[in-house]
Amino acid sequence: MKNILVITASIFGQDGQSSQLVKRTLDQLRETHGEIQTTYRDLAAEPVPHLDASRFGAFLTGADDRDGDQQQVVDYSDSLIQEIRGADVIVMGVPMYNFGIPSGLKAYFDHIARSGVTFRYTENGPVGLLEDRPVYVLAARGGIYAGTPNDSQTPYIRSFLGFLGLTDLHFVYAEGLNMGDEKKESALQEAGRTIETLTA
C-alpha cells in the first residue's frame, strides 16, 4: 500500500482548483496502485505558524537547553518532517497568489527546513537529508505563467525541495483559469491528461 502525503494550500479549501487537481491525482494513483493510505495537511484550514524570532530560536537551541515552549515548537516541526519521511509519494496543490506560493505554504516550508535534520552544510555545499520520492505539484493559475519570467513558483519549489533532497518533481499546470470558461475547461482537461500520464 502506498502512503501518500497530501498538502493543500487553497484559501477556497476543497473547492479550490488546485485542491480539485489534487483529488484527481489521488483518484488516478488509486487506479494505478490500488488501495492507498493518505495523510492530509490542509495549510489553509490548519495554518502552520509563520516563522518568527522565537520559533527560529527554538530550532537553533540545543535539545538540552530548550525550555518547554521551545520544545513544543521543535516537536511540531518534527511531526511535519516525519509526515514527509513516512510518505512514499507527496501530492501538493499549489495555487498562485500574486505571482507566488501561498503564505501558508511558505510557513510550512520554513518549518521543514532544519539544519542537521533535513539538510546539512558541507565543505562542498549543502546536502539534502530527505530520501527522494515522487512529488506531484499541481499548480493552478488564473493567467498564463509557465515558462515565463513571471513564474516564480516553479524555480522556487524546485530549488527548495531539491535543497532538502527531493528532486523527483512532477509539475502539472492548469493555467488561464480566469480567462473565460472555454479556456478554463480546456486547461483542466489538459491537466487531467497530464496527471493520467504522470501517474500511470
As annotated, the binding site includes 10, 96-99
Euclidean distance between CA atoms 54 and 29, whole angstroms = 40
CB 174 within 8 Å of CB 185: no
What's the chain's length in residues?
Answer: 200
Binding-site residues for FMN sit at 10, 96-99
**What is the DSSP pairing of strand 125-128 with strand 119-122?**
antiparallel
- The residue whose grid cell reads 518549518 is 111
- The CA–CA distances, whole Å, from 170 to 57, 91, 93, 158, 167 equal 34, 10, 12, 10, 9
Euclidean distance between CA atoms 175 and 158, whole angstroms = 19
Buried b (16+ CB within 10 A) or exposed e, 116-131: ebbbeeeeeeeebbbe
